[in-house]
Structure 1
Amino acid sequence: MTYRPPRLTDAQRVVWPEEFGTRFTVFADVEEEFDWNAPLDRRNRATTAMVAFPEAHRRFAERGVALACMVDYPVATDPAAVAILSRVVEDGRSEIGTQLHAWVNPPFPDSAPPGSSYAGNLPRASEAAKLETLTRAITTAFGRAPRAYRAGRYGIGPNSFALLARLGYRIDSSVRPGYDYSADGGPDFSMADAGAYRAEGIVELPLTTVFTGGARWGGAHLYRALGRIPKGRGLFARAHLLSRIALTPEDMPIADALEAVAVAAGEGLRLLNLSFHSPSLVPGHTPYVRDAADLKRFHAWWTVMLDEFERRGIRNASLDEIISALE
């Protein structure tokens, strides 16, 4: 059964303190390398792209930007990767979080249901066991229990929040508004919005997705309807009527992302949540960075985006600052 976030009440929505202002945060999915176009395989555990992480962190740190490093099992159990990330968090603002890639995270059951790469589709006991194993590995590796979580492939399910709260997590960032993964057995976030909310003891910080264009008033409802019309979404995007823009350098042109920031800020979104995958820091590991030219564009995207935040007075927020504001 496809997981869809429940309809929110006004009481669930986070009201940020006035002094928090409008802020942005950066989540890095720190993970192993694998062929994104091939079937998922638990034997894919290489973390060679981590050699590029210190330089990427330096670029962010020089701009005063903290990274929420969402670490999965292959990374948490690789001593070289742990050493790199241990130095990253010495900046005093970056923090280690958790990312569950169910297909490479023990324990491995004898059989798994369809769609089991989405951890939220697993039986409750199996999802719990994988979360416990990963949380324990991260706590052992870094000497501190993680407080933030992201499901690999954005694959949360009906049991996820309660399981996370039981393990002491405070924040989840698995909801990707405007995206529907149900055709592949994953969750449907097509009608979710980008605002933070509370549920079952967890605060959800969705990745920021914004609809832009002359018909953006139609939002998720119109975008979903266009998906039922051959080439409908493409026609509306080319006509600058409606585009779905996620705040990431991966497959999102900077001009579109800047327009999305203007819309989000104009509509009063108080926390913008940006993200990238660590293997994108080395060409050839993700579909978004295939060569040196792509990598150059990747870094340039961040430079322009951080300049825009500075121009608008939108400051960075670390996980610690976010949690303090929520309290």
Structure 2
Amino acid sequence: MKLVVTIDVEEEGLFSNSYAARDVPVENVQALPCLNRVFQRWNIHPTLLVTHAVASNKNLQGLLVNLCDTWHGEIGAHLHHWNTPPFEELPYPQPVPSELMPEHLLTAKLQTLLESIREMGIVATSFRMGRFNLGPKMFSVLRKAGMLVDSSIAPMRRYYGGPDHLSVPIDPYFPDPSDPRRPGNSEILEAPLTILPVTSTLGSVLDSIKTNARIERRISWMAANLLSLPAQPLWTGLNRLKLAVRLHKMRGGRVLTVFFHSSELIPGGCPQHRTTEDVDRFLDKLDRFFAWLHQTYSLESITLSELGRLFASPRARDIVEH
């Protein structure tokens, strides 16, 4: 089993639903070195998915490159379309769903982000959309930009204005370009977050329920909070993390895709981490989780793009598609 650890390296304030377009604080990025002890101990090769606010900050570029060198990791792209130039006034509240934005604007924003990453001497080939808001339009933009792998699908979740992820594959797959939630023949690999429905067919059952908005919101809440097991360290305790991994392995899972945010590494950066002690407990949970993984399974930590190249081989692709 492969382990893919991804970090959304981004500005502060998004947990309070602040979508400021300019002058956003990025002090949390300086806390990334606190992961060094855990990552080096368990040979974790993370993917740092950086936003434009981070990548364009000259004071952070050297830190990010040095950390990637130290961890043998990768820098990829994380598009926060609400605060990445260029800007156009649109008649919708922020964050504007990508399907409601002109494709030329999404393309320009992605190019701005990729150019800011190129200033660090890096050509990004991995991607995650802000707020997991990936639909056919944004997927088309990624294809034209030559992305190798995307990780914007969050199973058993439904987000404002975005595609419904209640019923999606759990392991990596090649999407249908017209509906990235479904397997197809795209050249981009999709690496969903590892979130398990408690029964393998539950997502499809929930997805088939079409009723009024109030009941659908309740179904979405139940799917996220009661009917799924996330292998995501911020979202649950160590025992449920272990249970999610065991269930994924039992169902034939080959890739464990984990994520968290850089802002979760500072006190006050997210609702769960209000104090230094909260952050320390999170780091300890990461350490114990990775220790358990290595003691229980034969697994290798790789970056998103390494995963993309691995699955792109003709034999591996044939296995994935069939």
Q: TM-score, normalised by structure 1?
A: 0.83
Partner of 2:302: 317
| Partner SS for 1:36 | helix
Q: Equivalents in 1 of 2:17, 2:242: separation in Å? A: 33
Cα distance in structure 2, aligned partners of 1:107 and 1:180: 28
Shift of the 197–121 alpha-carbon distance from structure 1 to 2, 3 Å rule, reads farther
Match of 1:162 in 2: 140
Residue 315 (structure 1) shift: 2.2
The answer as to whether partners of 1:113 and 1:122 remain within 8 angstroms in 2 is no
Aligned to 2:6, the other structure's residue is in SS state strand
Kept in 2: contact 1:207–1:275 (CA 8 A): yes
TM-score (structure 2 length as normaliser): 0.84
Matched, 1:261 2:239: no
Match of 2:202 in 1: 219
Where do residues 172-187 of structure 1 align in structure 2 (5 Å cutoff)? 172-181=150-159, 184-187=160-163
% identity of equivalent residues: 26
Amino acid paired to 2:118: T
State the alpha-carbon separation in 2 of the partners of residues 92 and 290 from structure 1.
28
Do the aligned partners of 1:236 and 1:243 also contact (CA within 8 Å) in 2? yes
Q: Deviations over 1:139-187 (max 9, x none)?
A: 12x2121000000100112122221122221000001011011xx3222
Q: SS of the residue aligned with 1:178?
A: coil
Structure 1 counterpart of 2:196, from 207, 210, 227: 210
What residue ranges of structure 1 are gaps of 5+ in the alignment? 1-21
Q: Contact (CA 8 Å) 1:121, 1:157: kept in 2 or not?
A: no
Q: What count of residue pairs does the alignment treat as equivalent?
A: 297
1:251 match: secondary structure: coil
Structure 2: gaps spanning 5 or more residues:
176-185, 314-322
* 1:52 has 2:36 as partner: no
Task: Give the RMSD, CA atoms, in angstroms.
Answer: 2.6
Q: Deviations over 1:67-123 (max 9, x none)?
A: 100000110111122111010121362000000001110000133545644434311
Choose the corresponding residue for 2:125, options 118, 130, 147: 147
Q: How does 1:1-327 map to 2 (within 5 A)?
A: 22-43=1-22, 45-91=24-70, 93-114=72-93, 116-140=95-119, 142-181=120-159, 184-199=160-175, 200-212=186-198, 216-221=199-204, 228=215, 243-311=227-295, 312-326=297-311, 327=313
Partner letter of residue 107 of structure 1? Answer: P
Deviation digits for residues 216-237 of structure 1, max 9, x if unmatched? Answer: 2552145566x94998899999
